[in-house]
Amino acid sequence: MFRHLFRRGERRKQVPSHESKKVVVVAVVTNVAIATFKYVAAIMTGSSAMFAEAYHSTADCGNELLLLLGMQRSTRPADSLHPFGHGKLLYIYSLLVAVYIFGIGGGLSFYQGITHLFHPEPSTRPGWNYAVLGASALFDLYSWAISYKELRARKDRNESIWDEIIGSKDPTVFTVFLEDSAGLIGVALAFLGIFLGHVLHNPYLDPIASILIGGLLTALAFLLGRETGALLTGERTSKARIQRIRKILSSEPDVEGVGDLLTMQLGAEQALLTVSVRFRRGIDLDEVEAAIASLRKKLRQKDRSLTYIYIQPEPLEALGP
């Protein structure tokens, strides 16, 4: 009975956040429209910067579809082969997104820019480019605003948006936010390359803009790869959650001290907690069992993401004076 109380994990199917899915779906729809417009403009004008932006938006479309697939597959419940569930599948697909951005978006943008840099051709019909870039900026801004709003809703009051991106355990929202941010910067770079090249009659500025867009996408890919790679290899849960856990444990009347508090993120909405607790002197076995049950209940009420909770009672000498 006692062993069962502190080692039992609760298996349940994980459901992705409705807001996370909304952010990704909006990004898919907007990027499909943006990519279509950019390809038309690129073909009509021959602009290498516009081709780079079209590749950029194509990569973004594939990215969001990969995220949706990862969200769907990560919700499968735990089984005998995966006792802690399938939540980390989302991180695998997010890592594929980073590779996809680097290989498709960045690689093709570099290729397009370098090719045209050696054989520069003046862009024709710049009006097409300006119109499409303006529309693309509006679409990207709409998707960016939705992901930014969701990031703000998730962050703690004393955190910045950057803190939330670095510390977030749900890569879907911050991936879309960073992609849309890169999309807006890419539009600006493409506009400057096309506009200045047309005004200054310099055909080299357009392919230079394409190369800069490739560099932007490469930097984004490395950032996303670093963040999702850390989650995939067993990153701890957020500092704010750990502080809340320690506060709940310390507030229990029968607890005298909290020892090793170890956590691991198992998915966007799944976390593992193992903690050593020193109970007060004179407490008997039944009271320890009741205290553990009480702590588990309080922890789950405060944070449903704590899917697996293991509370290990420790002897007095184990935690020191």
Residue 191 has pLDDT above 80, yes or no: yes
pLDDT value, residue 5: 43
3-state class (DSSP) for residue 120: coil
Region 267-284 average pLDDT: 88
pLDDT value, residue 295: 92
pLDDT value, residue 8: 43
pLDDT in tens, 212-229: 999 999 999 999 999 898
pLDDT value, residue 2: 42
Residue 11 has pLDDT above 60, yes or no: no
Region 11-25 average pLDDT: 67
pLDDT in tens, 116-131: 888 877 766 778 888 9
Residue 6 has pLDDT above 60, yes or no: no
Tokens 């590779």 — which residue? 99
% pLDDT > 90, the chain = 26
DSSP string, 200-261: TT-TTHHHHHHHHHHHHHHHHHHHHHHHHHHHHTT----HHHHHHHHHHHHHSTTEEEEEEE
E strand or H helix at 141: helix 126-154
% pLDDT > 70, the chain = 91
Other CB atoms closer than 10 Å to residue 137's CB: what's the count? 18
pLDDT value, residue 283: 82
pLDDT value, residue 119: 81
**What is the average pLDDT score of the chain?**
85
pLDDT in tens, 235-265: 998 888 898 999 999 988 888 889 899 999 9
Residue 273, token pair as written in the block: 């907690």
152, burial (CB in 10 Å: exposed 0-12, middle 13-18, buried 19+): exposed
pLDDT value, residue 276: 92
Residue 185 has pLDDT above 90, yes or no: yes
Q: Rounded to an integer, what distance in angstroms lies between the CA atom of residue 175 and that of residue 202?
A: 35
Q: Rounded to an integer, what distance in angstroms lies between the CA atom of residue 134 and that of residue 129?
A: 8
pLDDT in tens, 33-46: 899 989 998 888 88
**Domains of the chain with CATH codes:** 18-232 (1.20.1510.10), 237-319 (3.30.70.1350)
**What pTM does this model have?**
0.80
Q: Rounded to an integer, what distance in angstroms lies between the CA atom of residue 253 and that of residue 91?
A: 39
Tell me the backbone φ, ψ of residue 311, rounded to 5 degrees: -110, 120
Confidence of residue 18 (pLDDT cuts 50, 70, 90): low
